[in-house]
Amino acid sequence: MLEFVEHPAVGEHKASIIWLHGLGDSGNGFLPIAPELNLPGELGVQFIFPHAPEQPVTINGGMVMRAWYDIKSFDLDKRADEQGVRDSSAQVEALIQAQLDKGIPANRIILAGFSQGGVIALHLAPRLAVKLAGVMALSTYMCVPEKLSAEAKQTELAIFMAHGSADPVVPMFAGEQAFNTLKQQGYEVSWQDYPMEHQVCLEELKAIRAWLIERLSD
């Protein structure tokens, strides 16, 4: 099981948000966002921030760091190592299963991810046997989008996407391509972009908060 840090629910644990970090970060990177979002206590949300495994990353000279998959090329169609994405997706699926085993229903579980973490979230959620409350994909792109229609087990899924218009790491067109693929597949996808680089901004957090409350209040 992946190691993680968590921000406990206020009162009874009724819902879970599993939030995946980006390349070279750890679960601790997004941990401060949980109290900032200040979700209503009655939703009973527990945040789980897993740490990606440590592995060499080709584009960084083979340096070992936390990564959900290797990046061998900056070219978008070759950027995500497919086997690495599938391996990490299986590990994250085990985390989701652990929440289900605790009695948290799938429609009270959100899978979120930033950058590399977003790639895992967008890859895994449509392929799960259970339908999650939603997916949050921030400043990210898709791995093997051409395989989604054949492999998807969920035909309906609520997806929140956000991107920085000045992102030098994951260009916004990469996020837009993912958005278009998901829309064509029939998913309920919302898109937000902000005048920022590869980061999360205050206006984005406000939109995230509103979306999370909507998804977890149904």
16: annotated active-site residue: no
Which positions ≥6 away from 59 have C-beta within 8 Å? 71, 72, 73, 74
198: annotated active-site residue: yes
Give residue 134's pLDDT: 98
Give residue 139's pLDDT: 98
Helices (H), the chain: 33-37, 76-79, 82-101, 116-124, 148-151, 172-184, 202-216
Give residue 105's pLDDT: 98
Whether the CB-CB separation of 158 and 126 falls below 8 Å is answered with no
Q: Which of 115, 123, 139, 163 is catalytic?
A: 115
149: annotated active-site residue: no
pLDDT tens for each residue of the chain, 218 residues long: 999 999 999 999 999 999 999 999 999 999 999 999 999 999 999 999 999 999 999 999 999 999 999 999 888 888 899 999 999 999 999 999 999 999 999 999 999 999 999 999 999 999 999 999 999 999 999 999 999 999 999 999 999 999 999 999 999 999 999 999 999 999 999 999 999 999 999 999 999 999 999 999 97
Give residue 94's pLDDT: 98
Can you give the C-alpha Rg of the chain in angstroms? 16
Give residue 76's pLDDT: 80
Give residue 207's pLDDT: 98
Between CA 1 and CA 161 the distance in angstroms is: 27
Q: Which of 13, 51, 193, 198 is catalytic?
A: 198
Give residue 77's pLDDT: 80
Give residue 17's pLDDT: 98
